[in-house]
Structure 1
């Protein structure tokens, strides 16, 4: 009976919830907050959402959704085309390969795994961005972005968990 209910939830309108929420987070991530005096760094909410949904329900976040979301972010942020798409696809590959090692553990382990994974992905993006522009870009903004994203994982994952429990 549990498998039948899971199949219904995965194929029904609730099955589109992770992709819809992640798309909403992409829009939220692009909102201009702060001012010239206080420039606030926005965490990479899409990476957090994709990691969370892949860790809990991997079938509901396919490769195509990760690629399209990454491409939309690339177009919206005016960064080299394919950079965020590559990062989100690498996130999916990482989670699917490492999920057996941390699934079922407490949320602090998930947070640590996300922090390590996102650090590696931000370093990859810094290397690619520097290679594309043929000069080393400053590493401090990348590290600040990683710190904000890593520390934002817990509250965002908490909210996503509440939403997941409410929907299912």
Structure 2
């Protein structure tokens, strides 16, 4: 039996859910608020989302989607174009190498893996900015943003798991 038009639309909407949620969260967390130094500690929901969806539903977070999201993030933040996509694509490559193991592991091991990959991604981001821009960028904002990203990972992971169970049944 062929699916109806509305069933196909429903399937497409469900397939686009991880990309759309990631894009909306990224934009939401980039909204400038009048709080001093807040941008230095706002977690990278883009990194969290890419980690989760690449790990559990790589079919819904393909490489082109990761590149697009990172490029949009670079455009919105004003950092050097290409740094974000480069780092996130390396992040995905590292994650894909361990995906089968990590998808079946306990949450503490998963969180430790996220801690490691996130720390490497933030460190690489700092090094690339150091190499590509004049002057020495301050490392403290990178350090604190990484800490807040790691700290809020469980909450976002739980939220994404709820979305996956309710909307994206395999």
TM-score band by shorter chain is 0.7 to 0.9
What TM-score do you get using the length of structure 1 for normalisation? Answer: 0.87
Separation in 2, partners of 1:39, 1:61: 29
The match for 2:102 is 102
Show the 5 A alignment for 1:84-103. 84-103=84-103
Separation in 1, partners of 2:124, 2:66: 18
Quote the offset at 1:34 in angstroms: 5.2
Show the 5 A alignment for 1:60-79. 60-79=60-79
- Listed as ranges, the gaps of 5+ residues in structure 2 are 1-7
Quote the offset at 1:12 in angstroms: 3.8
Show the 5 A alignment for 1:139-154. 139-154=139-154
What TM-score do you get using the length of structure 2 for normalisation? Answer: 0.86
Deviations 1:42-71 (CA, angstroms, capped at 9, x unpaired): 100011001001111111111111111111
Separation in 2, partners of 1:25, 1:123: 23
Quote the offset at 1:151 in angstroms: 0.9
Q: Does 1:16 align with 2:16?
A: yes
Show the 5 A alignment for 1:1-168. 12-33=12-33, 35-36=35-36, 39=38, 41-167=41-167, 168=169
Separation in 1, partners of 2:31, 2:133: 26
Separation in 2, partners of 1:103, 1:39: 33
Give secondary structure in 2 for the equivalent of 1:60.
coil
How many residues matched?
158
CA 1:100 to 1:129, structure 2 compared with 1: closer, same or farther past 3 Å?
Answer: same
Deviations 1:55-89 (CA, angstroms, capped at 9, x unpaired): 11111111111111111110100000011111221
Separation in 2, partners of 1:68, 1:42: 21
Separation in 2, partners of 1:31, 1:138: 22
